[in-house]
Amino acid sequence: MVPKRFSPLIVLLLIVSLLASCTPAAPATPAQKPADTAVPAVNSQPGTDSQKTLHVWITWGDNPAQLQSLFDQYGAANNVKVEVTSPVTDDKVIAALTGSDPPDVLILGSGDLVKSWANEGLVTELDNLITANNIDINDIYPAPLTQCKDHKNHLLCLPWGTDVPALFWNKHLFEEAGLDPETPPKTMEELAAFADKLVKKDDNGKLKQVGFIPDFSWTHTDLYVSMYGGDRYSPDGTQLIVNQQPMIDALKWQQQFYSKYGADQVLAFTSALGGYMSPDQGFYAGKIAMMVDGEWQVGTNYIGHFKPELNYGVAPFPPPADHPERAGTTICQGTVAVIPAKVKDSTASAKLLAWMVSPKILADEMVVNFNLPTSTKSAADPRFRENAKFGIFMDLEAGKNAKPSISSPISTELNQELLQVEEQVLHAGKDPKPLLDAAQAKFAQKLADSLK
């Protein structure tokens, strides 16, 4: 995913990309759906001048009307009014969290910011509210749930759908290059070899087609380092490990896709491509033969809208040749919901949150958005299997090698530093080891201090 950056209480940087908030049209609704497990009604006092109003803020807003319609169901069933504000600007989020009138529920594109906010006392620890409202934590897939846990295993948020990356390939370009259009690369080494065969240059020697760009349309280093058996953090999030061999290997593997053809040439090529939501996006336009992207792409608002005739395939990103057991490795990261610490009625907020994560409501919302449900009961809804390509992402989320996106109170600062390292390695040909050693030295103690 696109990284989010945040300096606690000062700046909330570019909130949540399209990865966590895509709103394609819904597939047809089948007769069979999971049982509704919505929470009991919130009782309002009869005879009052107005209904109780709950405020839900969402930091993305592809389809505000659809979101309002969803929450209207809760309002109608519980004799309350739910007002959805979507999208919410960065400065408004910070002002509300630090002020005296925050929303009752705040929905974010990822959990990256939550631990920073928790250190500032801005979000509510949810453990007791989860128990009181009978939220079935065991029904939530472990990988997306982990992004909401702090280093003491307390829940600071709940996932509301998730995203996972996979490999997309253009079958027509494969066939032109003499590759089997129905067979994606099986290893990372084979992917690099395929990419070489898919390069085309014009009469002046400039790139006009490439096989693969590892950081298109954003960084995917978290996926690649997982394929090499590592991460930025220890599994419990308490230790920084950014300068270990898996991170070095992941950056060097990516570097080859720039160094082979000249970083300046590759950067000039990508700068001429169209925007992400444009028919001229590199993969849509047939200029990039393979890409890493998320499940929303297979819906009707992305490839189905911008290039419906595109003949493409989707497969799990391949592992290194010497580690076939890592096949199916993917990273789960997506939308989360928090209850601000200064809400006036945390009980009402928690009841609304319980309704949001109930299997039926979660399934209905994720089907509309072509995003992955975080509830195993929701995942049983047959609507998620109507699109065979979407089913590949469903299997990745449920697989044994689905990994959480581990974060910490220093995630935003660290991620910014690692993006700078990545740029120097990929685009400037630098050796990753000294850069990663410097990042480790700079941030290891910061992490330790943040967890005290």
Full set of structural domains in the chain with CATH: 6-163+333-404 (3.40.190.10), 165-331 (3.40.190.10)
**In sequence order, which residues have a C-beta less than 8 Å from that of residue 385 and are 6 or more positions away?**
391, 394
- Dump pLDDT digits (tens) for 23-34: 333 333 222 323
Burial (0-12, 13-18, 19+ Cβ within 10 Å), 375: buried
**In sequence order, which residues have a C-beta less than 8 Å from that of residue 322 and are 6 or more positions away?**
none
> What does the block give as tokens for 19?
């990865």
Q: Is the pTM of this model over 0.85?
A: yes
> What does the block give as tokens for 8?
């606690």
Inter-residue long-range contacts of 183-186, CB under 8 Å, 24+ positions, other chains counted: 184/290, 184/313, 184/315, 184/318, 185/290, 185/318, 186/318
CA atoms within 13 A on the CB side of 203: 0
What does the pLDDT read at residue 416? 96
Torsion of CA 220, 114, 402, 189, to 10 degrees: 20
Phi, psi of 127, rounded to the nearest 5 degrees = -50, -50
What does the pLDDT read at residue 318? 98
For the chain, which ranges sit under pLDDT 50? 1-49
Contact 21, 335 (CB under 8 A): yes
**In sequence order, which residues have a C-beta less than 8 Å from that of residue 376 and are 6 or more positions away?**
139, 140, 141, 398
Q: Is the dihedral of CA 274, 276, 280, 284 positive or negative?
A: positive
What does the pLDDT read at residue 170? 98
What does the pLDDT read at residue 60? 86
How many H-runs (helices) and E-runs (strands) does the chain carry? Answer: 17, 14
